[in-house]
C-alpha cells in the first residue's frame, strides 16, 4: 500500500508538470483529488487495515493529498500568469480599472429634498397627491368657479372629452394647491403639510417656461393662526434656503383661494438689490405666493372657519436653483446634457 501511494504521487506530479491549459488542470484535479479518485478510495479503506499499517498508510496518504493540493494551487497560479503575459506587452495590468461613473441626484430633486427638509424641521409633514386631477379639486374647491377669470392664467391640459353640456371634469393638475383640499378633507386639524410635485400648463417652452414643471405648496390649519405665523414661517425658510443675510419683501397680491393674499420676493442674488437684467432692474425677484386660506375653501373641506384659521403658500421649485446658481434657461434643467447636470 505504501509503495502504491508513492507511485501514485510520482504519476500525479509528472502529469501535473505536463498540464498547459486550465481545462486540463481541472481534469487532473478530478482524477487525483476527486471524490472517486484512487487516493480518496485509499483513505476510505483505511479502516480495513491493521492498526499499525493504518497509521503509516494514513499519515502518508494525507501528506500526499496536502502536497498535491499545494502543487495544484501553484500550477493554477502559473497558468494564470502565463495567460496574462500572453495578452501582450502593451497592457499594464497594474493600472487601476476604469471607474464607473458616480450617480448623482438631479438638481431639481436636490432642491425638492432640501425644501422638504427645511419645512419638516419646522414641524410640517410631506404629502403627495394625484397628478391627474378632478376639476373640483383643481379649481372649484379652491374658489375658482367654472367661469372664473383666474382659469385663463392656467392654460389647462384636459385629459377627457367634453361632456354633453360642454364641460370637462378631469385634467393634469395646474398647481399643487389642488392637494390642499384633499388633505383638509382627510386630515382633522391641526394640519401642517407641504406638498411637492409636478404640475402642467398648456404653454410653449422658452427660457422661463416649460409645459411641465415643479411646485411645492404648504398648508397650516389650526386655531388662532395669523398672518404673523405665515410671515414667520416664510422668513425662516428664506433664511435657511437663500442665506442669513438675504432680504425678503412681502407685497399684497390676489389669489382666489386666499384672503388676504401676498407675494414674497427676495433680494436679487445676482446684483444684490442694485438692479440687473435678471430682476428687471427692480432688485427683487418674486419666489412665491401666499395668504390666509379663504373661509369658503375651509368650508368646502368640512372645516369650520369660525373655529379654525389657516395659511397657505405655493412656490415654483424650478426657479429656485436658477436663482441660486445663476441658470439663465429653465430648459437646461430638463435636458440630458451631462456637462450641465454634473455641476450639481
Helix (H) or strand (E) holding 269, with range, is none
DSSP 173: -
Q: End-to-end distance of the chain based on CA atoms, in angstroms?
A: 75
DSSP 330: G
CA angle 317, 318, 324 (to 5 degrees): 90
| pLDDT averaged per 10 residues, the chain (length 344) | 74 81 80 77 71 74 82 84 68 78 87 95 95 91 83 80 66 93 93 95 83 94 95 93 87 92 86 74 86 94 94 91 81 87 85
Q: How does pLDDT run across 143-193, given as a tens digit for each residue?
A: 888 777 777 767 888 887 665 556 678 899 999 999 999 999 999 999 999
What's the pLDDT at 156? 86
Q: How many residues does the chain have?
A: 344
What's the pLDDT at 132? 93
The residue among 229, 207, 234 whose CA lies nearest residue 288 is 234
Q: How does pLDDT run across 188-207, given as a tens digit for each residue?
A: 999 999 999 999 988 888 87
What's the pLDDT at 6? 75
* Domains of the chain by residue range: 2-87, 107-341
Class of domain 107-341: alpha beta
Amino acid at each position: 500500500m505504501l509503495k502504491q501511494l508513492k507511485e501514485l504521487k510520482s504519476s500525479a506530479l509528472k502529469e501535473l508538470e505536463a498540464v498547459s491549459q486550465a481545462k486540463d488542470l481541472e481534469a487532473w484535479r478530478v482524477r487525483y483529488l476527486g471524490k472517486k479518485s484512487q487516493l480518496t478510495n485509499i483513505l476510505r479503506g483505511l479502516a480495513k487495515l491493521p492498526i499499525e499499517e493504518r497509521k503509516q498508510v494514513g499519515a502518508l496518504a494525507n501528506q500526499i493529498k496536502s502536497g498535491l493540493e499545494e502543487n495544484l494551487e501553484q500550477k493554477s497560479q502559473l497558468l494564470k500568469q502565463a495567460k496574462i503575459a500572453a495578452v501582450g506587452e502593451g497592457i499594464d495590468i497594474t493600472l487601476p480599472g476604469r471607474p464607473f461613473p458616480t450617480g448623482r441626484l438631479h438638481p431639481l430633486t436636490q432642491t425638492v429634498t432640501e425644501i422638504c427638509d427645511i419645512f419638516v424641521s419646522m414641524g410640517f409633514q410631506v404629502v403627495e397627491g394625484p397628478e391627474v386631477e378632478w376639476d373640483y379639486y383643481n379649481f372649484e374647491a379652491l374658489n375658482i368657479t367654472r367661469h372664473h377669470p383666474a382659469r385663463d392664467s392656467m392654460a389647462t391640459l384636459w385629459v377627457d372629452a367634453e361632456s354633453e353640456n360642454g364641460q370637462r371634469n378631469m385634467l393634469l393638475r395646474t398647481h399643487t394647491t389642488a392637494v390642499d383640499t384633499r388633505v383638509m378633507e382627510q386630515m382633522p386639524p391641526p394640519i401642517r403639510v407641504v406638498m411637492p410635485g409636478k404640475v402642467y400648463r398648456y404653454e410653449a417652452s422658452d427660457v422661463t417656461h416649460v409645459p411641465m414643471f415643479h411646485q411645492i405648496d404648504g398648508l397650516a390649519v389650526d386655531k388662532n393662526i395669523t398672518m404673523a405665523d405665515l410671515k414667520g414661517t416664510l422668513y425662516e425658510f428664506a433664511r435657511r434656503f437663500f442665506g442669513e443675510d438675504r432680504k425678503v419683501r412681502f407685497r399684497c397680491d390676489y389669489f382666489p383661494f386666499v384672503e388676504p393674499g401676498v407675494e414674497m420676493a427676495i433680494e436679487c442674488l445676482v446684483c444684490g438689490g442694485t438692479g440687473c437684467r435678471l430682476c428687471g432692474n427692480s432688485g427683487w425677484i418674486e419666489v412665491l405666493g401666499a395668504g390666509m386660506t379663504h373661509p369658503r375653501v375651509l368650508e368646502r373641506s368640512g372645516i369650520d372657519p369660525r373655529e379654525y384659521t389657516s395659511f397657505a403658500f405655493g412656490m415654483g421649485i424650478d426657479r429656485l436653483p436658477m436663482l441660486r446658481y445663476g441658470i439663465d434657461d429653465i430648459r437646461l434643467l430638463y435636458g440630458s446634457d451631462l456637462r450641465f447636470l454634473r455641476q450639481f
